[in-house]
Chain A
Amino acid sequence: MSAVLAELRTGNAPFDVERVRADFPILSRQVHGRPLVYLDSAASAQKPRQVIEAESRVYESEYANVHRGVHYLSQVATEKFEATRTRIAAFINAPDENEVVFTRGASEAINLVAFSYVAHFLKEGDEILISELEHHSNIVPWQLAAQRCGAVIRAIPICDDGQIDMAAYAELLGPRTRLVAITGQSNALGIVPPLERIIPMAHDAGARVLVDGCQAITHRPVDVQAMGCDFFVFSGHKIYGPTGVGALWGRAELLEAMPPWQGGGEMIARVGIEKSTYKGIPHRFEAGTPAIAQVIALKDALDYVDALGLDAIADHEAMLLDHALRRLSEMDGVTIVGTNPAKASIVSFLLDGIHPHDIGTIVDREGVAVRVGHHCAQPVMARYDIAATVRASFGLYNTLAEVDALIASLEKTREIFA
């Protein structure tokens, strides 16, 4: 554990971003001869040394396949692997670690629910409600599942300020609504939907709720029991962990009723040539050799975030967002897309007369990494009749000076286009 984490654990230190930054080796590199200003954590977060070292530690001293061997290393690897499951359960306050299924990421977790739950249990004419805010990963799997079972997809519109239109949502909920799939935070606009109202309303209508927690889990504490959702998904790489690993949490009674969706080793109890029986949850949904080292190192990422404290991280990111919104509003010709105050760590904007892609190229030469484009949320872009935005997203390692560097690079963009 680094000194800063030890101090934070004892509660003696304020959020010291410079010391946090020292844990992230990549942040000391230069890009185009300038210090890297990484404002693209919503796409994927950088990794602290603790995670990088954990992954190589696995390969150097703890590696073997899991759940198979009787030999020593296989047992070590299996214990470490399962320890991450327990860690995730604690991190999201799941009642039972067997409700945590490892996947390649949030997209695969949603696909699992789409195929094992929706395609299996929904009937012709049943309705799946999504919102206009969703990432493509929380749209397309439902379309594929709906094609199989004849369900219908409806979208909850968003208001001009980017927030869910709650009146329209109330209208759309009906006796045919079987599932509401909604983001915990928009990746494109940063808007945080009021899940504390959305979820009970869905349950009152007899629908289940899946929350896409990819963004939300990195910015505030998640408690699936308090939230009351039925499924929750997230990706490891967005919470400072490795790529290639994510998780689905689902209520045990739902998971137990769901059939396997991929066949292979590890998920079976007994295999015959014509018929097989399957393990219980969660292993029934984990066919094949998983991303072992990545799963194990994900625990270190969660430990890292927990030691800093999600409340402290949220406060730090709120300060960055406030500063960015203030500096951007002082510039001429800036339009913020998604102005609802329920917003965290992400700002999406337009600069009059300059296309986001040109902005992205120019600020990149100043060392500033932002995302430009539709952010895999084309329905959001369609809602505002735009093709793209510039998105700056903040993580626990960003600084006020980096927000200022973004503003300076935007002013340079202006000069070039003047």
Chain B
Amino acid sequence: MDDLRDLYQEVILDHGKNPRNFRHPEDANRHAEGDNPLCGDRLTVYLKMGHNGLVEDVAFEGRGCAISMASASMMTEIVAGKTEQEARALFRRFHDFVTGREEIGEADNDDLEKLIVLAGVKQFPMRVKCATLAWHTMTAAMDGQDAVTTE
């Protein structure tokens, strides 16, 4: 049960039920669809990229489990206002956290600190893809790809 409470913390349940930035911005200039064929979950990440690689707006739509919705929701809150490079770097660190490559105690900035609530997925290897789907999709949108799949 402890593992489950770690996975389904209040913050995650809240973001999962009331995802932030769950919308389609009309002025988005990049988007990509993310697909998890294993579960049929699908989401679209929209980006409004400004000059100098600044993420001026980031939002998403779609459906998925509490983990994928919460991760997408938190991602939009954290990434807005960052540069593309900062966002990519953050995903790399986050990815290392949820796959257990980096220890949780090493979170050394506020953004990673917020994402630590998602680190519980590393006890549930089948669910790591849920936690990273939105991030992979955002990266694909930045790369100019239309679609990405977790398989």
A interface residues with partner B (beta carbon < 8 Å):
353-358, 361-362, 365, 372-374, 378, 381, 387-388, 416-417
Any A CB within 8 A of the CB of B41: yes
Segment at the A interface, from B1-9, B51-59, B111-119: B1-9
- Residue from the list A353, A354, A357, A362 in contact with B39, Cβ < 8 A: A357
Spot the interface stretch: B61-69, B79-87, B138-146: B61-69
Min C-beta distance of A376 to chain B, whole Å: 10
Let me know if A361 and B127 touch, CB within 8 A.
yes
**A387 engages B39 (CB within 8 Å):** yes
Identity of the chain B residue whose Cβ is nearest the Cβ of A355 in the assembled complex: B65
* Contact indicator A417/B13 (Cβ below 8 Å): yes
Interface size on B, residues (CB 8 A): 23
How many angstroms between the C-alpha atoms of A362 and B39 in the bound complex?
16
In the bound complex, do residue A357 and residue B127 qualify as a contact, i.e. CB atoms below 8 Å apart? yes
Cβ of B92 < 8 Å from any Cβ of A?
no
Interface pair B65/A417, CB less than 8 Å apart: no
Residue pair A358, B38 in contact (C-beta under 8 Å): no
Given A358-B65, A361-B124, A416-B4, CB of A381 within 8 Å of CB of B40: yes
- Please name all residues of chain A whose beta carbon is closer than 8 Å to the beta carbon of B17 when the two chains form the complex: 353
Say yes or no: B4 contacts A362, CB within 8 Å: yes
Interface centre among B41, B42, B67, B127 (most CB of A within 10 A): B41
A388, B64: Cα distance in complex, Å:
9
A373's contact among B13, B38, B124, by CB below 8 Å, is which? B38
Supplied contacts A355-B64, A356-B65, 12 more A-B pairs, CB within 8 Å:
A356-B39, A357-B127, A358-B67, A361-B4, A361-B124, A361-B126, A361-B127, A365-B3, A373-B40, A374-B40, A387-B40, A416-B4
Q: Cβ of B126: which chain A residues have Cβ within 8 Å of it?
A: 361
**How far does the Cβ of A143 sit from chain B's closest Cβ, in whole Å?**
17
B64 contacts A365, C-beta separation under 8 Å: no
- Residue B72 CB within 8 A of the other chain: no
The complex places the Cα of A356 from the Cα of B63 at a distance, in Å, of 12
Contact check, B41 vs A358: say whether CB atoms are below 8 A apart. Answer: no
CA distance A374 to B7 in the complex (A): 23
Give chain A residues whose Cβ lies under 8 Å from the Cβ of B7: 361
Q: How far is the CA of A378 from the CA of B40 in the complex (A)?
A: 8
A361 to B4, CA, bound (A): 8
Would A416 and B8 be within 8 Å (CB), given that A355-B65, A373-B38 are in contact? yes
Check: B90 CB closer than 8 A to any chain A CB. no
Shortest C-beta distance, B130 to chain A (Å), equals 7
User: Which residues of the other chain, B, contact A388 by a CB distance below 8 angstroms?
Assistant: 39-41
B residues in contact with A361, CB < 8 Å: 4, 7, 124, 126-127
Q: How far is the CA of A356 from the CA of B40 in the complex (A)?
A: 11
Shortest CB-to-CB span from A353 to chain B, Å, is 7
User: In the bound complex, do residue A417 and residue B8 qualify as a contact, i.e. CB atoms below 8 Å apart?
Assistant: yes
Identify 12 residue pairs between A and B in the complex whose beta-carbon atoms are under 8 Å apart, listed by A's number.
A353-B17, A355-B69, A358-B65, A358-B67, A362-B4, A373-B39, A381-B40, A387-B39, A387-B40, A387-B63, A388-B39, A417-B66
Chain A residue numbers with a CB within 8 Å of B69 are 355
Q: Which residues of A contact B1 (CB under 8 A)?
A: 365
Interface membership of chain B positions 100-119, coded 1 if the CB is closer than 8 angstroms to chain A and 0 otherwise? 00000000000000000000
Contacts of B40 in A (CB 8 A): 373-374, 378, 381, 387-388
Complex Cα–Cα for A256 and B43 (A): 49
Contact A387 B8 (CB under 8 A): no
Q: Distance in Å from the Cβ of A34 to the closest Cβ of chain B?
A: 11
Task: Give chain B nearest CB distance to A32 CB in angstroms.
Answer: 9
Tell whether, in the assembled complex, residue B130 and residue A357 are in contact, meaning their CB atoms are under 8 Å apart.
yes
Give the CA-CA distance A355 to B39 in the complex, in Å.
10
Complexed CA–CA distance, A417 and B13 (Å): 7
Min CB distance, A366 to chain B, in Å?
A: 9
Instruction: Please indicate the chain A residues that have their CB under 8 angstroms from the CB of B130 in the complex.
Output: 357
Query: In the complex, which residues 25-77 of chain B have their Cβ closer than 8 Å to any Cβ of chain A?
Result: 38-42, 63-67, 69
By a CB distance below 8 angstroms, the chain A residues around B8 are 358, 362, 416-417
Alpha-carbon distance A361/B5, docked complex (angstroms)? 12
**Which chain B residues border A365 with CB–CB below 8 Å?**
1, 3-4
For B63, the chain A residues whose CB sits under 8 A away are 355, 387
Residues of B within 8 A of A417 (CB): 8, 13, 66
Greatest chain B CB density within 10 A among A353, A362, A372, A416 is at: A416
Closest 5 CB pairs of A and B: A355-B65, A357-B65, A387-B40, A374-B40, A373-B39
